């Protein structure tokens, strides 16, 4: 009888331990399987650079004219930048690549991917997951070295979802299309208020996956292209994106990350906070430069309720920051706070690299 009790106890302990492991599963945060395309197709499945066969690219399903390319100079005078490795894939006319992802229903995920146009000025890339989709324009090159990285978010509706990258364009050359360099996924944690601050994610600590070996920042698309923001709590309410930067590759005022306003008045970021009509509040924030060669006379404009603050500073590109404060009185139970850069900037020694002032440590507190 004691042996039976021992077996029952062991089984119960095993079940409890198993459920605990399942409950404490590590959130997704890293490259997808073969997300950097360094696991190559067999030579027999290659026709020069074109991949032949639906399942020839390890861990991916392909459709249409998909090429495996190596970074560097190409025939015909082209140059393909692959800053995070050796290989990338190029999506030709109407081509696509897909991968099934195991996720948690109801959770929000962000996809980080490096993308560069290779031929036409009007190239776009369509990204979709289980009926959620967006077409991102990639004609504007924010990094002259081709290191542009984008983030896009979705909410999981089932245990397994299908992620697809598609080139919706048709060019005279069927191989023309976007270059995909690397793809990663991150499960976004739930947002919480920090005590005393009415702004959620005011320090931009929660954001998309950042590639470790190379980063020029991550472009966060406008709300019209991505309803679920990869930067939780914030709305990119402009035509152009803002750039998410981390402290491993840039100078940020505090913590792990900040936002760079890279497209002047065309990249605005906002958040709607809860307030009490008629009550006074103070909005504080930090601006500066990312120590990335961005220079010149900078200005960040901040709006809250009916008040405006234009905070100016001179950037020498050496990572200096400045604090701004704006007092305002709420006129409703919801108040929109908005920031944008007053001017356009490029790097001092690289006029093809768009940049701008850094925003961090956004805080709104009631005045007692």
pLDDT tens sequence across 324-357: 999 999 999 999 999 999 888 888 776 777 889 9
Q: What is the 3-state secondary structure (H, E, C) of the chain?
A: CHHHHHHHHHHHHHHHHHHHHHHCCCCCEEECCCCCCCCCCCHHHEECCEECCCCCCCCCEEECCEEEEECEECHHHCEECCCCCCEEEEECCCCEEEEEEECCCCCEEEEEEEEECCCCCCCEEEEEECCEEEEEECCCCCCCCCCCEEEEEEECCCCEEEEEEECCCCCCCCCCCCEEEEEEEEECCCCCCCCCCCCCCCCCCCCCCCCCCCCCCEEECCCCCCCCCCCCCCEECCCCCEEEEECCCCCCCCCCEEEECCCHHHCEEEEEEECCCCCEEEEEEEEECCCCCECEEEEEEEEECCEEEEEEEEECCCCCEEEEEEEEECCCCEEEEEEEECCCEEECCEEEEEECCEEEEEEEEECC
Contact residues for 141 (Cβ-Cβ < 8 A; gap 6+): 116, 117, 148, 352
What pLDDT score was predicted for residue 84? 86
Pick the CATH number of 218-366 from 2.60.120.260, 3.30.2310.20, 2.40.30.170, 3.40.50.970: 2.60.120.260
Distances (CA, A) of 150 to 209, 242, 277: 10, 10, 38
What pLDDT score was predicted for residue 25? 54
Dist. CA 262–CA 361, nearest whole Å: 18
What pLDDT score was predicted for residue 82? 87
Contact residues for 217 (Cβ-Cβ < 8 A; gap 6+): 149, 243, 244, 245, 249, 250, 260, 262
Tokens (6 digits) for 305? 């309720």
Dist. CA 56–CA 38, nearest whole Å: 13
- Residues of the chain where predicted confidence (pLDDT) is lower than 50: 1-24
- Between the two ends of the chain, the Cα-to-Cα distance in Å is 69
The reply to whether 29-187 and 218-366 are identical in fold is yes
Domain ranges of the chain: 29-187, 218-366
Closest CA to 37 of 76, 79, 75, 91: 91
Tokens (6 digits) for 318? 């050496």
Q: Please check whether residue 72 is in contact with residue 78, taking contact to mean a CB–CB distance below 8 angstroms.
A: no
Dist. CA 349–CA 317, nearest whole Å: 11
What pLDDT score was predicted for residue 238? 82
Q: Please check whether residue 245 is in contact with residue 290, taking contact to mean a CB–CB distance below 8 angstroms.
A: yes
In CATH terms, the fold of domain 29-187 is: Jelly Rolls (2.60.120)
């Amino acid at each position: 009888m004691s042996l039976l009790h021992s077996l029952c106890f062991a089984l119960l302990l095993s079940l409890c331990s198993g459920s605990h492991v399942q409950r404490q599963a590590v959130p997704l945060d890293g490259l997808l399987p073969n997300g950097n395309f360094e696991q190559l197709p067999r030579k027999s499945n290659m026709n020069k650079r074109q991949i032949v066969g639906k399942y020839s690219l390890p861990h991916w399903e392909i459709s249409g004219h998909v090429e495996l390319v190596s970074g560097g100079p190409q025939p015909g005078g082209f140059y393909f930048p692959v800053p995070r490795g050796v290989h990338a894939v190029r999506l030709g006319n109407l081509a696509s690549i897909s991968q099934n992802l195991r996720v948690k229903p109801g959770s929000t995920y962000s996809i980080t991917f490096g993308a560069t146009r290779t031929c036409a000025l009007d190239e776009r890339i369509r990204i979709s997951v289980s009926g959620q989709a967006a077409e991102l324009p990639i004609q504007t090159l924010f990094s002259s070295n081709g290191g542009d990285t984008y983030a896009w978010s979705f909410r999981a509706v089932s245990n397994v979802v299908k992620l697809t990258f598609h080139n919706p364009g048709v060019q005279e050359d069927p191989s023309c299309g976007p270059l995909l360099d690397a793809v990663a996924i991150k499960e976004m944690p739930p947002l919480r208020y920090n005590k005393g601050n009415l702004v959620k994610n005011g320090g931009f600590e929660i954001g998309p996956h950042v590639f470790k070996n190379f980063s020029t920042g991550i472009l966060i698309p406008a709300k019209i292209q991505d309803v679920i923001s990869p930067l939780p709590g914030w709305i990119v309410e402009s035509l152009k994106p803002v750039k998410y930067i981390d402290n491993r590759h840039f100078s940020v005022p505090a913590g792990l990350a900040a936002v760079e306003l890279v497209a002047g008045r065309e990249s605005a970021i906002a958040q709607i906070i809860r307030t009490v009509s008629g009550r006074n509040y103070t909005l504080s924030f930090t601006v500066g430069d990312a120590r990335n060669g961005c220079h010149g006379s900078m200005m960040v404009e901040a709006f809250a309720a009916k008040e405006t603050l234009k905070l100016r500073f001179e950037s020498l590109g050496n990572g200096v920051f400045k604090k701004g404060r704006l007092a305002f009185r709420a006129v409703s139970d919801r108040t929109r706070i908005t920031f944008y850069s007053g001017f356009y900037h490029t790097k001092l020694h690289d006029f093809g690299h768009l940049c701008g002032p850094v925003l961090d440590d956004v805080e709104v507190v009631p005045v007692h």
